[in-house]
Amino acid sequence: MKLKAVLTQLAQAAKDASRTTAELPTSKKKNLLRDVAFRLKKSRRVLLRANELDLKAARHMRVPHAMMDRLMLNDERIAGMAKAVLDVARLADPVGRVLARWKRPNGLVISKVTVPLGVVLIIYESRPNVTSECASLCLASGNSVLLRGGREAFHSNRAIVEIYRRVLADYRVPQAAVSLVHRPERRGIDELVRMKNLITLAIPRGGERLMKRVERHARIPVVKHDKGICHVYVDRDADLKMALEIAFNAKCQRVGVCNAMETLLVHEAVAPKFLPILGERLAQAGCEMRGDERTRRYVKGIKKATDKDWDTEYLDRILSIRVVQSLNQAIAHIQKHGSAHTDSIVTRNRSAAEKFKAQVDSSSVMVNASTRFSDGNEYGFGAEIGISTDKIHARGPMGLEGLVSYKYIVEGSGQVRT
Amino acid sequence: MKLKAVLTQLAQAAKDASRTTAELPTSKKKNLLRDVAFRLKKSRRVLLRANELDLKAARHMRVPHAMMDRLMLNDERIAGMAKAVLDVARLADPVGRVLARWKRPNGLVISKVTVPLGVVLIIYESRPNVTSECASLCLASGNSVLLRGGREAFHSNRAIVEIYRRVLADYRVPQAAVSLVHRPERRGIDELVRMKNLITLAIPRGGERLMKRVERHARIPVVKHDKGICHVYVDRDADLKMALEIAFNAKCQRVGVCNAMETLLVHEAVAPKFLPILGERLAQAGCEMRGDERTRRYVKGIKKATDKDWDTEYLDRILSIRVVQSLNQAIAHIQKHGSAHTDSIVTRNRSAAEKFKAQVDSSSVMVNASTRFSDGNEYGFGAEIGISTDKIHARGPMGLEGLVSYKYIVEGSGQVRT
């Protein structure tokens, strides 16, 4: 069968299933998710075996270290995946919430009530736990989900989706409510994002090429989860010990993720003291540094940062560093080179913090904290569907609230408009 | 200068202006809007003169009655326009609102704070008061606005925008914060909706052709304000006197608007009694009726409705009527032919109303009220930017809340992620 026909059938089945998921009672959704969590843990071996197939292929293709890290499952990550599903099951049902209710002078009573979106399409890569996070959040919000994971994680994703579908069958919910897009053709993405009567929202998570591809072909609404070029700015009034910990954590705690720091900005007043110590620590951790001219005075032997570096999301053990003359210059750098994802200032100066918070228009703006906290779980949303870099519908870490819409219910007693 | 260059310059100026509008204090925005309202009323003659130029051209081109009605300004409509601006000035500032604030176990304090979108592009037709409604709402929400009105209302729109710009100058806000797109080329729309680094959101209001055009070319987020194929369903348990008033009002109170009824569904149990009376009243009001076979038994001499009628937004004194066998058939008809805009049931039966409310997934679902109430002003939002037929970002009557986004502000004391 032709690609378009296969995908249309898949999307139509997801839409049909969404009528059932939309009307699932809260308790049934919660029980279903708890069963999924239980089965994920119980299926440890199946998952690791599937993952090993993906890892083997990746090793064969010599994919970069950061991608291998994203792809890998282990006991800890499977346990984390199951826990994330339990966390979602514990959250309040986002469907059927009365957001507001008011009475108009003419007696009409208006209620604004949340409803599921319908069918959500997620396009993503590498990390298999994303598959489970997205499936659990979509089910919890009464949606069907089409999961278009990367080819490199195919076996892992299929094993995870199979667990969801077995539980769906147990609960007599159509299995098409959670579907993996099996066809690996890139062109499939173009077809899917055109299905405007079937898919309500597309969420592409990934790099620039994917975003451009989706932008070019989309006829349906899109909330982009684009790259994170995140900054930490070490102010002249920073607690340098705190700055050291935050900068090190933001870069090194996990490198293959969008909320890791890619560029460090350091005020010139503290650079001579701060940079040599940080440089040593990063070098010990095997992190490559690329600095502007002044940085290279304080951290010997590192590469020169080129213009391209300021606009690059490394997703790897690489950091670009620039010494700035002022808070204003730091903000201007972020406005010019940042991706409006997550940016952090380290300072003890209250007015510097206020200025940074007001003028940096990123989805998360932090004061004295690591950029790595920009995450649905860390914000207390349970798992996250991703981190939106758009300003429309949902911005920043996107949990259940981003997966519902609403309708107005207007109740009258015969009112007509005059 | 070439079209693209002209429009890019316009959008860039709007973006630059949005830095100022984003930081306007609440009181300044309110004063500015009050001055606009005052000037609109004071400029009655200027506005009517400009409108007369548009009307003359429209008469010359023999545009349909419904469009003439949409285009026309008169004293009452100008007063209404000014009042709508005052209503907006009275609303709470949607910017800088703390939507939520919470503390995490690790001590991080997270605040979700509203921010303006940036630059909003509105594409619309005919009604000049839309120009003022959109400009006032965008300013009140700290945005710049690009107004791409229809060619047929050009003089009226220009006169209205000039009033806004004069007041902006008084307040030392860049005039580019409210800009009319002067170039009438259709192709200009294609260029504008591609400007992804300049324009944050496009809001097309209009018919299918415009929606398709925008869908095809858009590289920026879009919230569509598509057509309204609105239904009134007269249930077997309806109060027929109430049903008569609601049906007549939904169709005839104003015909050239998206929340007017286009199709009436009548339960077969009440059709023999209800339809002859309604038919007479509609005929007296000069409303053409097109019915299915059974309708034509009760309303003599009317045209037969074709399949196309059920999918048509007339925006005129025309109504299609169908007799249905059950509530289920009415809901199925709405699901198949409706545009998920506004649909109303007239019934005294509580469980019928509940079913209708749950299963009709339209932006506004009404019980015993005219569809004409689906409107930002009628809902108490002040003016409206339009009525979204999308489920993403904003749905239904879209007021100030639809014109802001938010950011997360995370305040710590040196937290790093483990």
Task: Sketch the domain layout of chain A as residue ranges.
Answer: 3-226+389-411, 230-377
Nearest CA in chain A to B350: A411
User: Chain A contact for B339, CB < 8 A?
Assistant: no
Name residue, tokens 């339990």. Answer: A86
A347 in contact with B at a CB cutoff of 8 Å? no
Closest in B239, B353, B414 to A368, CB measured: B414
CA distance A214 to chain B (A): 9
Nearest CA among B184, B188, B134 for reference residue B154: B184
Evaluate whether A3-226+389-411 and A230-377 have a shared fold. no
pLDDT beyond 80 at B126: no
Mean pLDDT of chain A: 95
End-to-end CA distance of chain B: 57
Q: How far is A61 from chain B (nearest CA, A)?
A: 31
Fold of B3-226+389-411: Aldehyde Dehydrogenase; Chain A, domain 1 (3.40.605)
Which is nearest to A245 in space by CA: B153, B91, B416? B416
Would you tell me which residues 191-220 of chain B have a C-beta closer than 8 angstroms to some C-beta of chain A? Answer: 196, 200-201, 215-216, 218-219
Q: Does A368 touch chain B (CB under 8 A)?
A: yes
CB distance B410–A374 less than 8 Å?
yes
Q: Distances from the Cα of B278 to the Cαs of A226, A249, B246, B270, B274, in angstroms?
A: 56, 73, 11, 12, 6
**Which of A373, A375, A395 to mutate to test binding with chain B, by most B CBs within 10 Å of its CB?**
A373
Which residues 17-56 of B have a C-beta within 8 angstroms of A?
Answer: 23
**Closest approach of B96 to chain A, Cα-based (Å):** 10
Average pLDDT over every residue of B406-415: 98
Q: Which pairs with CB-CB distance under 8 Å and at least 24 residues apart come from B57-64?
A: B57/B152, B58/B152, B63/B152, B64/B316
Helix crossing, A44-60 with A75-90: angle to 10°? 120
Find the radius of gyration of the CA atoms of chain B: 23
- Tell me how far apart the alpha carbons of residues B334 and B340 are, in angstroms, rounded to a whole number: 8
- pLDDT recorded at residue B93: 97
**Closest Cα of chain A to B265: distance in Å?**
17
Written as six digits, the tokens of A88 are 């979602």
Percent of chain B with pLDDT strictly greater than 90 = 88
Q: Is the pLDDT of residue B242 over 80?
A: yes
- Give the H or E element holding residue A350: helix A350-359
Round to the nearest angstrom and report the end-to-end CA distance of chain A. 57
Give A391's contacts in chain B (Cβ within 8 Å). Answer: 115, 117-118, 200-201, 221, 405
What is the C-alpha separation between B358 and B345, in angstroms, rounded? Answer: 12
CA gap B160, A357 in Å, rounded: 36
Q: Which of B42, B69, B178, B210 is nearest to B126 (CA)?
A: B69
Q: Which residue of A has its CA nearest to B224?
A: A221
Q: Tokens 């076979």 map to which residue?
A: B293
Residue A140: predicted pLDDT:
97
**In the predicted structure, residue B173 carries a pLDDT above the cut 90:** yes
Q: Nearest chain B Cα to A418, which residue?
A: B253
Tokens of B247: 């049906």
CA distance B190 to chain A (A): 13
Query: A347, A367 in Cβ contact below 8 A?
Result: yes
Q: Which residues of A touch B372 (CB under 8 A)?
A: 416-417
pLDDT above 70 as % of chain B = 100
Residue predicted with more confidence, B122 or B127: B122
Is the complex ipTM more than 0.85? yes
* B185 band by pLDDT with thresholds 50, 70 and 90: confident
Identify the pLDDT of residue A67: 81
- Asked if B80 and B377 touch (Cβ cutoff 8 Å), the reply is no
A-chain residues within 8 Å CB-CB of B412? 366-369, 373
CA angle at residue B395 from B393 to B400, to 5 degrees?
70
A369: chain B residues, CB-CB within 8 Å? 108, 410-412, 414-416
Instruction: Say if the Cβ atoms of B378 and A417 lie within 8 Å.
Output: yes
B contacts of A374 (beta carbons < 8 Å): 408, 410
Nearest Cα residue in chain A from B222: A221
**B180 in contact with A at a CB cutoff of 8 Å?**
no
List chain A pLDDT tens, one digit each, 418 residues: 799 999 999 999 999 999 899 999 999 999 999 999 999 999 999 999 999 999 999 999 988 887 888 899 999 999 999 998 999 999 999 999 999 999 999 999 999 999 999 999 999 987 899 999 999 999 999 999 999 999 899 999 999 999 999 999 999 999 999 999 988 888 899 999 999 889 999 999 988 889 999 999 999 999 999 889 999 999 999 999 999 999 999 999 998 889 999 999 999 999 999 999 999 999 999 999 999 999 999 999 999 999 999 999 998 999 999 999 999 999 999 999 999 999 999 999 999 999 999 999 999 999 999 999 999 889 988 778 889 999 999 999 999 999 999 999 999 999 999 9
Chain A contact for B245, CB < 8 A?
Answer: yes
Count the neighbouring beta carbons within 10 Å of the beta carbon of residue A169: 11
User: CB contacts < 8 Å between A and B, how many?
Assistant: 199
Q: What would the two tokens of residue A359 be?
A: 């003028």
Q: What is the pLDDT of residue A208?
A: 83
Q: What is the pLDDT of residue B284?
A: 97
A108 closest CB neighbour out of B362, B373, B395: B373
Residues of A in contact with B365 (CB under 8 A): 407-410
User: Which of B242, B413, B416 is closest, CB to CB, to A414?
Assistant: B242
The pTM (predicted TM-score) of the whole model is 0.90
The distance of Cα A229 from the centroid of its chain, to the nearest Å, equals 14
- Among partner residues A102, A104, A361, which is closest to B115 by beta-carbon distance? A361
> Best mutation site among A239, A356, A415 for testing chain B: the one with the most B CBs within 10 Å?
A415
Evaluate whether A126 touches A150 at the Cβ level (below 8 Å). yes
Q: What is the rounded CA–CA span in Å between residue A325 and residue A331?
A: 11
Q: Decide if pLDDT at B264 tops 90.
A: yes
For A356, nearest residue in chain B (alpha carbons): B409
Q: Which residue from B minimizes the CA distance to A246?
A: B416
Q: Please give, one letter per residue, the 3-state secondary structure of chain B.
A: CCHHHHHHHHHHHHHHHHHHHHCCCHHHHHHHHHHHHHHHHHCHHHHHHHHHHHHHHHHHCCCCHHHHHHHCCCHHHHHHHHHHHHHHHHCCCCCCCEEEEEECCCCCEEEEEEEECCEEEEECCCCHHHHHHHHHHHHHCCCEEEEECCHHHHHHHHHHHHHHHHHHHHCCCCHHHEEECCCCCCHHHHHHCCCCCCCCEEEEECCHHHHHHHHHHCCCCECCECCCCEEEEECCCCCHHHHHHHHHHHHHCCCCCCCCEEEEEEECCCHHHHHHHHHHHHHHCCCEEEECHHHHHHCCCCEECCHHHHHCCCCCCEEEEEEECCHHHHHHHHHHHCCCCEEEEECCCHHHHHHHHHHCCCCEEEEEECHHHCCHHHHCCCCCCEEECCCCCCCEEECHHHHEEEEEEEEEEEECCC
d(CA B82, CA B128): 12
Is residue B372 over pLDDT 90? yes
Distance from CA of A119 to the nearest CA of B (A): 11
pLDDT at residue B383 tops 80:
no
In this prediction, residue A70 carries a pLDDT of 86
**pLDDT given for residue A127 in this prediction:** 85
| Nearest chain A residue to B195, by CA | A215
Q: Is B175 on the interface with A (CB under 8 A)?
A: no
Nearest Cα residue in chain B from A115 = B361
pLDDT of residue B190: 94
Q: What span, in angstroms and rounded, lies between the C-alpha atoms of B294 and B279? A: 13
Residue type, B106: N
Which residue on chain B is closest to A106 by alpha carbon?
A: B378
Helix (H, G, I), strand (E, B) or coil at A281: helix
Which of B90, B410, B381, B371 lies closest to B246 in space, CA to CA?
A: B371
Q: How many CA atoms lie within 13 A of B199 on its CB side?
A: 29
Residue B282 · residue B292 · CB < 8 Å: no
- Say whether B392 and A392 touch across the interface (CB within 8 A): yes
Residue B103's DSSP bridge partners are B109
In A, which residues are within 8 Å of B239 by CB distance?
Answer: 414
Say yes or no for a CB contact (<8 Å) between A373 and B417: yes
Residue B67 has a pLDDT of 80
Give ∠ CA A125-A127-A129 in degrees, rounded to 5. 130
Residues B301-327 have pLDDT tens digits of: 999 999 999 999 998 999 999 999 999
Question: Which has more pLDDT, A64 or B87?
Answer: B87
Q: By CA distance, what is A353's nearest residue in B? A: B411
CATH code: domain A230-377 is 3.40.309.10
CA–chain centroid gap for B27, Å, is 27
Distance CA(A364)–CA(B40), nearest Å, equals 41
Q: H/E/C letters for each residue in A256-274?
A: CCCCCEEEEEEECCCHHHH
Whether residue B232 has pLDDT greater than 90? yes
Domain B230-374 belongs to what topology?
Answer: Aldehyde Dehydrogenase; Chain A, domain 2 (3.40.309)
Mean pLDDT, chain B, as a whole number?
95
A409 contact partners, CB below 8 Å, separation of at least 6: A110, A111, A113, B357, B364, B365, B366, B367
Helix (H) or strand (E) holding A194: none
Residue A119, phi-psi category: left (phi > 0), alpha (psi -120 to 50), beta (remainder): beta
**Chain A residue numbers touching B218 (CB-CB < 8 A):** 218
User: Is B349 near chain A, with CB under 8 Å?
Assistant: no
Which among B298, B287, B283, B299 has a CA at the least distance from the CA of B251? Answer: B287
Q: Can you read off the two tokens belonging to residue B332?
A: 């199925």
Does the beta-carbon distance from B416 to A253 stay under 8 Å? yes
- pLDDT for B359 beyond 80: yes
Question: If you ran DSSP here, which 8-state letter would residue A118 be given?
Answer: S
pLDDT in tens, B41-72: 999 999 999 999 999 999 998 888 878 888 99
Distance from CA of B60 to the nearest CA of A (A): 31
Pairwise CA distance, residues B91 & B96, whole Å: 14
CA distance A308 to A306: 5
Contact B412/A369, CB-based, under 8 Å? yes
Shortest Cα distance from B342 to chain A (angstroms)?
9
Helix (H, G, I), strand (E, B) or coil at A412: strand
Q: If residue A234 lies in a helix (H) or strand (E), which one and from where to where?
A: strand A230-234
Interface test with A, best of B223, B254, B341, B405 (most A CBs within 10 A): B405
Task: Indicate yes or no: CB of B245 within 8 angstroms of CB of A416.
Answer: yes
Residues of B in contact with A352 (CB under 8 A): none
Given an 8 Å threshold on Cβ–Cβ distance, is B411 in contact with A245?
A: no
Q: How many Å apart are CA B210 and CA B226, to the nearest integer? A: 9
